[in-house]
Structure 1
């Protein structure tokens, strides 16, 4: 009676290392393709939602514009009860132009601070990292 030793066990049923690597590569490729497909579907859905949201936001801004116009008209008509209508309209128009000028000046100031759009902190951090790496290489 012969006893099977580990060296005599039939390994023909087990896949080879090359076959396992090929299977793993195929599985990884399929996984990446599936994940990319899922990402495409998710982005398409989010894009539709963002488009709808932007449209609704634009609609709301349009109605807000007309609401402000109605308030301006109300201010003109309210002043017209004590002043001439043309003078009421002139006073409200000048007030609106003053508000517009102040907003434009503040906006221009903020815009100048943000230009050029360079991530200065990130660049400084990257330069510091590069200098640190260079310093450690020269030791």
Structure 2
């Protein structure tokens, strides 16, 4: 009876149960592709960060130059304007009022240059916005595909 049951078992073909076809990649190939794509993504993100930081460095340089120009021209200009303005207005107004008017005008001009320079050095404007947005999108896509 055991011999008869043994003979009645279906024969297993020596061929593999599933052929690996080019359109059906193996697990190792999928992991290899995943590693390559991840490496490429990290490399591209790093390149984007470098490009954005280079762009922000130029922005910082422009802001610093504006501040320096404002200070270099503002201080002597303020002095000259104070002296000339005070001397000119003393013919019409009291000397103290002449000095106040001229000094106030020069201070406003210097303040404008300083505010422009400070605005260009704002930390929010220096953040790598494109990279941050790209990283958020990559994270969202990874989370979406791993569910």
TM bucket, shorter chain: 0.3 to 0.5
Relative contact order: is structure 1 or structure 2 higher (C-alpha 8 Å, sep ≥ 6)?
Answer: 2
Structure 1 length as normaliser, TM-score? 0.45
Q: Could you state the TM-score of these two structures normalised by the residue count of structure 2? A: 0.43
